[in-house]
Structure 1
Amino acid sequence: MLIILESVLDGATLAQFRQLLADARWQDGSATAGTLARSVKRNHQLADSDPLAVRLGEQILQALGRNPRFISAALPRRIYPPKFNRYAEQGSYGVHVDSAIMGVPGSGQSLRTDLSATLFLAEPAEYEGGELEIETPFGAQVVKLAAGDMVLYPSTSLHRVAPVTRGARVASFFWIESMVADEAARSLLFDLDQAIQGLTPGLAADDDRLLKLTSVYHNLLRRWAQA
């Protein structure tokens, strides 16, 4: 399931991000790639320990904590601290799959990557190329979003970033370990929760139909979730 979250960052926050990242200390991104991915990764990233990356990453996590659609879609258990990358001058990332288990920097803990996230921080008109291409059961999906919008997709998916031929593509990316590991179960819960949220404004809080649907949702979550 591929889900678009619009306006994860508000206009003022986004403007601040863009200004700060314009003067950031970008490093060769291949140093953080896995053995197979290293040969196809051509971009720049901020170091995990860079104070700017830590500060902006915390702001992203705070914004996501206030985003009900993100919570509904991801059912997050753990989130890898957001990272930041920049593609320019033919920069690209060839076809790869994200590692299944990642160590969380500075925590001594590991995280299972159930969902991958890319938060776009450059406007589409500011660069050419740079599309995120995600393989799905229905073929490749091409994603190039407005600044401040984010895409969530299964970490099991093969994906690539097309070469940037003009300008610079700047984004934040990270991974989520969900309370519900099974993608199909998580998708069903998301659809059910979205239906409940859609019905709620038109029904009384004690409407029997709404209560039954809510009960089904929570009982399925109880069956599938690992808290």
Structure 2
Amino acid sequence: MNSSHTDADQKNTCILNGTYLSIRNLLSDSEVRDIHILFKSGAFDDGRLTAHSAAKEVKSNLQLNHQTQEHAAIQQIILAALNRNPVFRNAILPQSIHPFIISNYKPGMHYGWHVDSPVMGNMIRTDVALTIFLNDPEEYDGGELELQTANGNVLYKLNKGDVICYPCTQVHRVREVARGERNVAVSWVQSLVKETVHRKMLFEIFQITENLRNKALNEEEYLLLQQHYSNLLRMWAN
């Protein structure tokens, strides 16, 4: 299964496919341009420096030095975009976000099959992984994010400014880049709600509640739906 965005005219829409959430235009065109300028002026290190254990053996990419001003500026742009996006906030319920890794893949580079570390940084539990695409898919061949799922492998190669969110429990890889360069920002989120199925259920209830807000609905039923959402969140929150 190959999942990609082809309709650039649709703004700020999302696709929820089971436990995988993709959001179009998380970053605006101007934000992507600003990141591109910072990206080009930054200093990059061997990506294996941030890999753990067996992942070092299968990782081949470059990463923007996290101590640079360019990295700090890109991080600020991305966090602002995430904070203002209601779909991300309500679907992922972020509690902590690991500092972003800004990656560059040149021809021949890849990241082989691996699973993310369960805990990173300052003891952040990794519940949800994010990949934000910083250049268009036409600019490079290969480089797809490939996830192993119960229904077969899924490929993601989205438009610049788009993000894919997926459970950190999935085995995944980045396919080898054959032409051009692949630029992405990746991070991991500790969610307020640990279990994927619980987050999905809460988000679906939230969407129903929002859709019914301005429609003719019995007020008692509407309040009951809100009550169930609140109580489930209270029950499942860490």
Q: Shift in Å at residue 203 of structure 1?
A: 4.1
CA–CA separation in structure 2 for the residues paired with 1:210 and 1:138: 36
Cα RMSD of the aligned pairs, angstroms, is: 1.3
Does structure 2 retain, via aligned residues, the 8 Å contact 1:74–1:178? yes
Q: Which residue, 171, 180, 194 being the options, matches 2:193?
A: 180
Matched ranges for 1:115-130 at <5 A: 115-130=128-143
Give the C-alpha shift of residue 211 in structure 1: 1.6
Looking at structure 2, the residues matched to 11 and 203 of structure 1 have their Cα atoms a distance apart, in angstroms, of: 38
Aligned equivalents of 1:130 and 1:187: distance in 2? 28
Check if 1:75 corresponds to 2:93.
Answer: yes
Query: For residue 175 of structure 2, what is the amino acid of its counterpart?
Result: A
Residue pair 1:203, 1:210 contacting (<8 A) in 2 also: no
Asked whether 1:36 is paired with 2:39, we answer no
Question: In 1, Cα distance between the equivalents of 2:163 and 2:86?
Answer: 14
SS in 2 for 1:36: helix
Please tell me whether residue 152 in structure 1 is matched to residue 170 in structure 2.
Answer: no
**Aligned partners of 1:156, 1:85: CA distance in 2, in Å?**
21
Distance 1:88 1:60 in 2: 23
- Distance of aligned partners of 1:225 and 1:32 in 2 relative to their CA distance in 1, 3 Å threshold: same
2:214 alignment partner, SS class: helix
Task: Tell me, in whole angstroms, the C-alpha distance in 2 between the residues paired with 1:110 and 1:184.
Answer: 23
Structure 1 counterpart SS, 2:70: helix
Q: How far apart, in 2, do the equivalents of 1:11 and 1:115 lie?
A: 25
| Structure 1 residues 1-227: aligned runs within 5 Å | 1-103=19-121, 109-203=122-216, 207-226=219-238
TM-score, with structure 1 as normaliser: 0.93
By how many angstroms is 1:30 displaced?
1.1
What is the percentage of aligned positions where both structures have the same residue? 37
Query: CA separation in 2, counterparts of 1:63 and 1:203?
Result: 33
Distance across 2 between alignment mates of 1:63 and 1:73: 15
Cα offset, 1:179, TM superposition: 0.7
Q: Kindly state the Cα deviation for residue 12 of structure 1 after the two structures are TM-superposed.
A: 0.9
CA distance in 2, matches of 1:124, 1:48: 25
Q: What is the rounded CA distance, in whole Å, between the counterparts of 2:186 and 2:210 in structure 1?
A: 28
* Structure 2, gaps ≥5 residues long: 1-18
Tell me the secondary structure at the aligned position of residue 147 of structure 2. Answer: strand
Partner of 1:201, secondary structure, is coil
My pick for the range that moved more, 195-204 or 80-89, is 195-204
Q: Report the count of equivalent residues.
A: 220
Counterpart CA distance in 2 for 1:6 and 1:198 is 20
- The answer as to whether partners of 2:110 and 2:143 remain within 8 angstroms in 1 is yes
Note the residue ranges of structure 1 that are not aligned, 5 or more in a row.
104-108
The secondary structure found in structure 1 opposite 2:95 is strand
Amino acid at match of 1:210: Y
Which 10-residue stretch deviates more, 54-63 or 163-172?
54-63
- Distance in 1 (CA, whole Å) between partners of 2:80 and 2:198 is 26
Which amino acid in structure 1 is aligned with residue 28 of structure 2?
A: D
Counterpart CA distance in 1 for 2:184 and 2:208 is 31
Say whether the 8 Å CA contact 1:131–1:162 is kept in structure 2. yes
